[in-house]
Amino acid sequence: MYRVVASRAFRAGAPQKAFGCWFNLSRSAHTLPFATLEADEISGSKPGEVYNLVQGKWTGSSNWSTLLDPLNGEQFIRIAEVGEKEIQPYVESLSKCPKHGLHNPFKSPERYLLYGDISTKAAHMLSLPKVSNFFTRLIQRVSPKSYQQALSEVQVTQKFLENFCGDQVRFLARSFAVPGNHLGQQSHGYRWPYGPVAIITPFNFPLEIPLLQLMGALYMGNKPILKVDSKVSIVMEQMIRLLHYCGLPVEDVDFINSDGKTMNKLLMEANPRMTLFTGSSRVAEKLAVDLKGRVKLEDAGFDWKILGPDVNEVDYVSWVCDQDAYACSGQKCSAQSVLFMHENWSSTSLLSKMKDLADRRKLEDLTVGPVLTFTTEAMLEHMNKLLKVPGSKLLFGGEELKNHSIPSIYGALKPTAVFVPLEEILKDGNYELVTREIFGPFQIVTEYKQDQLPLVLNALERMHAHLTAAVVSNDPLFLQEVIGNTVNGTTYAGLRARTTGAPQNHWFGPSGDPRGAGIGTPEAIKLVWSSHREIIYDYGPVPGNWEIPPST
């Protein structure tokens, strides 16, 4: 309870007078004035606690669940899990928000400026080494990845906030006018909020994905309820406290920890006008039905990379392949799932270099680590099924990590690659097996000959999720052929093409699906978090010689 009270006390005075003394952070009880814990002190003997936020108040729950440390199995975080009988305050909170939102171009426009100021202050906070390190370490504690990978997530988030400082939020609501048919008539197009909305995000980017979508929703005038995968929700709980410290009105956002069944019930009763879901395709399709299509989806991606006929910079390309497939232990929705290698690359040292790079990864520095959604047994079982396909072979990996204390509910697999012949991939039965997304350090490698590009394009056409892709070639005609016959929403093209590592300066999201969501850019925010409203002004005057015409 003390933590809640202390946090409120900091928030109460922060927006007016704390901004000027942010460099005196060490004077607070928890080093950082918004924080209720120390990232490096969370342990079985001193567990962290995660609360819920509803109608402007941090609250506990009648049921507290406990998370296991992914690295050693200690019970290190307690979460106030909201049950199905406790959702009414959240339903009421969303229902208080009208369909026209908390602000729009005709209502409370000063709030666009407020959110520009909040973004300015939050961006500055994340630029401070103590704050940046706090969130980097907190991410590492719950979704283990290397320090640099976790830091990159914080830095992308900080740059995103910088992009929407000052007047940039109100520019998101820019309108346009078209001349009418007669004097006094004009049509105006406006970006309009949905009002009450929901955001559901996964575990793999505990800060970047929920924060970028949350701020986009708020910028456009919506009132969101945010649910982050409970395994990592402690990160956004602390981030919301930072946003409060930077001036975010406490009633603008609700934050809930619950299981999927409870959240589904909440959505059905609260009936948000729009729900953003990032995660598995199976859950995405269920939500689309339950919510009658009022969804935007960034679902799973079995992401592909094609190496074109022009061979260059083998060291660099092999390094990018390693990063795309195995950074964050392959737990990125943009991770390289299958590599289509032109036969010209087979005579190079590409595969041996990829093996050497994979062998460098070790648990000690978290360049490989726990897999949070697949067990070791499940990944090895999938690998063994693939190895039964004629012509398949294990290129490297395929073993459990050595000398680890990762709990058995998670996975611990060495970076793994399995070669499957292209002709076998395309066969019914094999195709479904090969294109099953394994959210871990696991990829498929295959080879195509000069005249087999149509077979590769056929394999891509049959895929159902079209998130990221890479075409590694500087041959403009080859690029033209592949790009023109594919659909992935975020596609990198050229010798330095990759599938992962999306910065804040370009669109990230799937394509080929009208429900597809984007993230990061003004275009993404406007698409996901606002709808078009047309207002036609018709002031007159009525012509002086006007008479009532015949009925039509």
pLDDT value, residue 28:
44
Apex CA 47: angle with CA 43 and CA 49, to 5°?
Answer: 145
Indicate if 294 and 314 belong to the same structural domain: no
End residue of a domain, out of 445, 478, 493: 493
Indicate if 321 and 216 belong to the same structural domain: no
In a domain, 182, yes or no: yes
pLDDT value, residue 300:
74
Indicate if 95 and 244 belong to the same structural domain: yes
pLDDT digits (tens, 9 = 90+) for 62-79: 999 999 999 999 999 999
Residue of 298 and 29 predicted with greater confidence: 298
Task: Give yes or no for a contact between 271 and 265, defined as CB atoms under 8 angstroms apart.
Answer: no
- Burial (CB count within 10 angstroms: exposed 0-12, middle 13-18, buried 19+), residue 43: middle
In a domain, 8, yes or no: no
pLDDT value, residue 204:
93
Query: Is pLDDT at 3 greater than 80 in this prediction?
Result: no
Query: Is pLDDT at 2 greater than 80 in this prediction?
Result: no
Q: Is 531 helix (H, G, I), strand (E, B) or coil?
A: strand
Indicate if 244 and 282 belong to the same structural domain: yes
Indicate if 192 and 319 belong to the same structural domain: no
pLDDT value, residue 30:
64
Indicate if 186 and 332 belong to the same structural domain: no
Supply the CATH number for residue 229's domain: 3.40.605.10
Rounded CA-CA distance 266/291 in Å is: 11
Average pLDDT of 47-59? 98
End residue of a domain, out of 493, 514, 542: 493
Rounded CA-CA distance 131/219 in Å is: 23
In a domain, 325, yes or no: yes
Residue of 485 and 300 predicted with greater confidence: 485
CA nearest to 383, candidates 371, 372, 370, 392: 392
- Give the DSSP letter string of 85-128: GG-HHHHHHHHTS-TT-S-BTTB-THHHHHHHHHHHHHHHHHHS
Indicate if 230 and 184 belong to the same structural domain: yes
In a domain, 310, yes or no: yes
Indicate if 388 and 417 belong to the same structural domain: yes
pLDDT value, residue 281:
84
pLDDT band (50, 70, 90) for residue 187: very high
In a domain, 540, yes or no: no
Q: Is 42 helix (H, G, I), strand (E, B) or coil?
A: coil
pLDDT digits (tens, 9 = 90+) for 145-178: 999 999 999 999 999 999 999 999 999 999 999 9
In a domain, 511, yes or no: no
Query: Is pLDDT at 183 greater than 60 in this prediction?
Result: yes
Catalytic residues: 298, 333
Provide the percentage of residues in the chain whose pLDDT is more than 70: 95
pLDDT digits (tens, 9 = 90+) for 204-254: 999 999 999 999 999 999 999 999 999 999 999 999 999 999 999 999 999
The average confidence (pLDDT) of the chain is: 93
Q: For residue 255, what are its two tokens?
A: 């934050």
Indicate if 350 and 271 belong to the same structural domain: no
Indicate if 336 and 289 belong to the same structural domain: no
Query: Is pLDDT at 127 greater than 70 in this prediction?
Result: yes
In a domain, 433, yes or no: yes
Indicate if 290 and 320 belong to the same structural domain: no
End residue of a domain, out of 476, 493, 510: 493
Number of domains in the chain: 2
Rounded CA-CA distance 312/310 in Å is: 6
Residue of 9 and 30 predicted with greater confidence: 30
- At residue 53, what are phi and psi to the nearest 5 degrees? -125, 120
pTM: 0.93
Strands 393-396 and 416-419: antiparallel
Query: Is pLDDT at 396 greater than 80 in this prediction?
Result: yes
In a domain, 501, yes or no: no
Strands 254-255 and 223-228: parallel
Average pLDDT of 460-475? 96
pLDDT value, residue 4:
38
Q: How many C-beta atoms lie closer than 10 Å to residue 56's C-beta?
A: 14
Indicate if 125 and 236 belong to the same structural domain: yes
Supply the CATH number for residue 381's domain: 3.40.309.10
CA nearest to 69, candidates 411, 412, 441, 407: 407
Q: For residue 175, give its domain range.
A: 87-299+522-531
